[in-house]
């Protein structure tokens, strides 16, 4: 086994590892940065009620803000991943976080709808740089625990997504749009942490195996290009199911609660926090379980398993709605890590591109879904959307068509 001594690295990531050992210090640094990045991004939908009231925006206009952010990120992410697979760019991560910082400050001072859209696009571009490269570094540091590594990376982002609405309820709702500038400190901390990660990568990338050691639980046989293409098409459909349903909750849950149960804006933010916290907690489950029992089984449970609860949700009272959204968040959150690692093992050597592609699909699907749902809400009402979206998890039945190319990890 070829040992890799990591010397002269910043204290944050001073570790000793080899090709099969999981570098937890680096994973925690990337996960923490993901939390900071997604905390900032979560502020955007969390302040929609403030923007709607301040600028008299329709739901369709709110959906277009999300579309601008998500599509900017989705279009650039596969390109960033492809480039970094070919040529390492160690300091691209702090650059991406810096772009997010600029977008945040611009949004805090925006006085027109067009500036809001431009600011959202800048935050999206920062995300496009951050996600595929950070995911590739997580894969690099994973050793034999690829699922666990992606879950740790994802849980940081989901924790940030759950914290964002809470911070919005505490600071932005009472103080208004300009309070967004206070969160520039979070982005600055992210830049500093990612600069250290970049230093580690720059000093050690010549000693890091680009192709990870064989991992138990990985692809058991080389699939044909046709099988790979078919599997990817199924995974894309599952991403569509997951993220359109998820965006119906994350972006419109507060409006649903205010419309159906007459809760206040601030109270709705607390309910959103509980849902997103459940998503963060559920994220950590899918990766390690997938390492043990195989990704396909996790995909089965995480998407199709949500269907009974999603179908019940539009008919539940306020207390049961809160309970059901916690269950939905916990179960559905495990899907993405399993899907991502499954795809990376289908196409080894293209880790960054696959990460960019699937993060891009997730962002793009969520953006388009948000825009379409916004139009539907304006025309049919928020309750109609929650009834219609309840059927989306049934697309999890498509998992039956995924090829059985995994063997469960044995300890």
Closest CA to 151 of 54, 303, 285: 285
Q: Whole-angstrom Cα distance, residue 314 to residue 305? A: 17
Q: Whole-angstrom Cα distance, residue 60 to residue 389? A: 17
Residue 216, H or E segment: none
Q: What is residue 204's predicted lDDT score, i.e. its pLDDT? A: 62
Q: Whole-angstrom Cα distance, residue 16 to residue 143? A: 12
User: In angstroms, how far is CA 131 from the centroid of its own chain?
Assistant: 8
- Taking the whole predicted model, whether its pTM rises above 0.85 is answered as no
Which region, left, alpha or beta, applies to residue 17 given φ > 0 means left and ψ of -120 to 50 means alpha?
beta
Domains of the chain: 20-401 (1.20.1250.20)
Q: What is residue 310's predicted lDDT score, i.e. its pLDDT? A: 94
**Residues 6 or more apart whose Cβ sits within 8 Å of residue 121:** 68, 69, 72, 103
Provide the 8-state DSSP code for 394.
G
Q: Whole-angstrom Cα distance, residue 149 to residue 140? A: 9
Residue 83, H or E segment: helix 59-86
Q: Whole-angstrom Cα distance, residue 79 to residue 352? A: 9
Pairing verdict, β 16-18 and 3-5: antiparallel
DSSP code per residue over 107-135: HHT--SHHHHHHHHHHHHHHHHHHHHHHH
Q: Whole-angstrom Cα distance, residue 322 to residue 277? A: 12
Q: Whole-angstrom Cα distance, residue 70 to residue 124? A: 6
Closest CA to 254 of 52, 72, 56, 54: 52
What is the full per-residue pLDDT of the chain (411 aa) written as tens digits? Answer: 343 343 444 444 444 444 445 577 888 888 899 899 888 887 887 778 888 888 888 888 888 887 888 778 777 888 887 787 777 777 888 999 999 899 888 888 888 899 999 998 998 889 888 888 887 787 777 767 777 777 788 778 777 877 887 787 788 778 777 888 888 888 899 999 999 888 877 776 654 444 444 444 444 455 677 788 888 888 888 988 988 999 889 888 999 999 999 999 888 888 988 998 888 777 777 777 777 777 788 888 888 889 999 999 999 999 999 999 999 998 888 787 788 878 877 777 677 777 777 777 776 777 788 878 988 998 999 999 999 999 999 999 988 888 775 543 444
**Residues 6 or more apart whose Cβ sits within 8 Å of residue 411:** 292
Cβ neighbour number for residue 314 with a 10 Å cutoff: 18
**Do residues 202 and 90 make contact, with C-beta atoms less than 8 angstroms apart?**
yes
Q: What is residue 84's predicted lDDT score, i.e. its pLDDT? A: 76
Q: Whole-angstrom Cα distance, residue 240 to residue 89? A: 30
Q: What is residue 307's predicted lDDT score, i.e. its pLDDT? A: 93
Q: Whole-angstrom Cα distance, residue 223 to residue 325? A: 38
Q: What is residue 9's predicted lDDT score, i.e. its pLDDT? A: 44
- For the chain, the C-alpha Rg in angstroms (whole number) is 20
Q: What is residue 289's predicted lDDT score, i.e. its pLDDT? A: 74
């Amino acid at each position: 086994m070829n040992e890799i001594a990591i010397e002269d690295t910043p204290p944050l990531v001073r570790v000793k590892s080899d090709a099969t050992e999981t570098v937890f210090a680096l994973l925690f640094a990337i996960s923490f940065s993901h939390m900071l990045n997604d905390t900032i991004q979560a502020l955007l939908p969390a302040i929609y009620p403030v923007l709607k009231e301040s600028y008299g925006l329709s739901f369709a206009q709110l959906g277009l803000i999300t579309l601008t952010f998500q599509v900017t990120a989705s279009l650039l992410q596969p390109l960033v991943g492809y480039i970094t697979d070919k040529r390492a760019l160690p300091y691209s991560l702090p650059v991406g976080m810096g772009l997010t910082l600029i977008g945040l400050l611009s949004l805090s001072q925006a006085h027109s709808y067009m500036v809001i859209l431009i600011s959202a696009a800048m935050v999206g571009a920062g995300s496009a740089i951050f996600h595929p490269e950070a995911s590739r570094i997580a894969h690099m540091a994973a050793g034999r625990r690829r699922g666990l590594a992606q879950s740790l990376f994802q849980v940081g982002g989901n924790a940030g997504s759950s914290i964002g609405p809470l911070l919005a309820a505490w600071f932005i709702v009472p103080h208004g749009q300009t309070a967004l500038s206070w969160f520039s400190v979070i982005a600055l901390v992210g830049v500093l942490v990612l600069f250290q990660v970049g230093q580690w990568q720059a000093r050690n990338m010549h000693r890091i195996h680009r192709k990870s050691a064989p991992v138990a639980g990985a692809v058991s046989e080389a699939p044909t290009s046709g099988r790979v293409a078919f599997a990817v098409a199924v995974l894309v459909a599952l991403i569509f199911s997951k993220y359109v349903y998820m965006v119906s909750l994350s972006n419109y849950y507060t409006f649903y609660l205010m419309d159906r149960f007459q809760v206040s804006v601030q109270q709705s933010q607390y309910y959103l926090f509980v849902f997103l916290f459940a998503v963060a907690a559920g994220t950590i489950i899918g990766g390690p379980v997938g390492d043990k029992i195989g990704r396909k089984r996790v995909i089965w449970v995480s998407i199709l398993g949500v269907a009974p609860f999603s179908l019940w949700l539009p008919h539940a009272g306020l207390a049961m709605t809160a309970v059901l959204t916690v269950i939905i968040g916990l179960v559905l959150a495990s899907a993405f890590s399993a899907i991502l690692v499954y795809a990376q093992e289908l196409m080894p050597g293209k880790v960054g591109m696959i990460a960019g592609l699937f993060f891009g699909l997730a962002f793009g699907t969520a953006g388009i879904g948000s825009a379409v749902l916004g139009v539907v809400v304006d025309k049919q009402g928020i309750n109609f959307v929650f009834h219609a979206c309840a059927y989306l998890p049934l697309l999890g039945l498509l998992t039956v068509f995924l090829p059985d190319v995994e063997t469960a990890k044995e300890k």
